Amino acid sequence: MTTPLLEVQSLKTHFHTERGRVTAVNGVSFSVEQGEIIGIVGESGCGKSVMSQSIIRLLDHTDDISYEGEVKLDGRDLLSLSKAEMRKVRGNDIAIIFQDPLTSLNPVYTIGEQIGEAITLHQGLSKKEARKKVIDILRLTGIPSPEVRVDDYPHELSGGMQQRAMIAMALSCEPRLLIADEPTTALDVTIQAQILDLIVELNRRLGMGVLFITHDLGVVAEICTGVKVMYLGQIVEETTTDRLFESPLHPYTQGLIASIPLMDRDRSEKLHVIEGAVPSLGNIPQGCRFSTRCPFADGKCREQEPPMTQHRDDHGVKCWHFEAIARQREVTAG
Residue 265: the pLDDT is: 60
Q: Is the overall model pTM greater than 0.85, yes or no?
A: yes
Q: Is the pLDDT of residue 77 over 80?
A: yes
Residue 12: the pLDDT is: 96
Residue 17: the pLDDT is: 85
Residue 41: the pLDDT is: 95
Q: Using H for helix, E for strand and C for coil, what is the string for 76-99? A: EEHHHCCHHHHHHHECCCEEEECC
Band (188; pLDDT cuts 50, 70, 90): confident
Q: Per-residue pLDDT averaged across 255-276, rounded?
A: 75
pLDDT digits (tens, 9 = 90+) for 137-165: 898 888 899 999 999 999 999 888 888 89
Band (332; pLDDT cuts 50, 70, 90): low
Look at the alpha carbons of 119, 95, 100, 210 in this order and tell me if their dihedral is positive or negative.
Answer: positive
Q: Per-residue pLDDT averaged across 11-22, rounded?
A: 90
Do the beta carbons of residue 271 and residue 261 sit within 8 Å?
yes
Residue 287: the pLDDT is: 95
Torsions phi, psi for 23 (to 5 deg): -100, 110
Residue 211: the pLDDT is: 96
Do the beta carbons of residue 28 and residue 11 sit within 8 Å?
yes
Q: Alpha-carbon distance 104 to 93, whole Å?
A: 19
111-123 and 159-171 helices cross at what angle (nearest 10)? 10
Q: Which is higher by pLDDT, 234 or 269?
A: 234
Q: Is the pLDDT of residue 187 over 80?
A: no
Q: Per-residue pLDDT averaged across 81-102, rounded?
A: 87
Q: Per-residue pLDDT averaged across 285-303, rounded?
A: 94
Across the chain, mean pLDDT equals 89
What b-and-e string marks burial along 13-28, b requiring 16 or more CB atoms within 10 Å of the CB?
A: bbbeeeeeebbbbbbb
Neighbours of 83 (CB within 10 A): 9
Residue 99: the pLDDT is: 79
DSSP 66-77: EEEEEEEETTEE
> Which of 75-79, 86-90, 178-182, 309-313 has the lowest average pLDDT?
309-313
> Which of 98-102, 148-152, 203-207 has the lowest average pLDDT?
98-102
Q: Per-residue pLDDT averaged across 33-49, rounded?
A: 92
Q: Alpha-carbon distance 223 to 157, whole Å?
A: 26
SS3 state at 7: strand
Q: Between vectors from CA 94 to CA 44 and to CA 241, what angle results, nearest 5°?
A: 50
Residue 20: the pLDDT is: 84
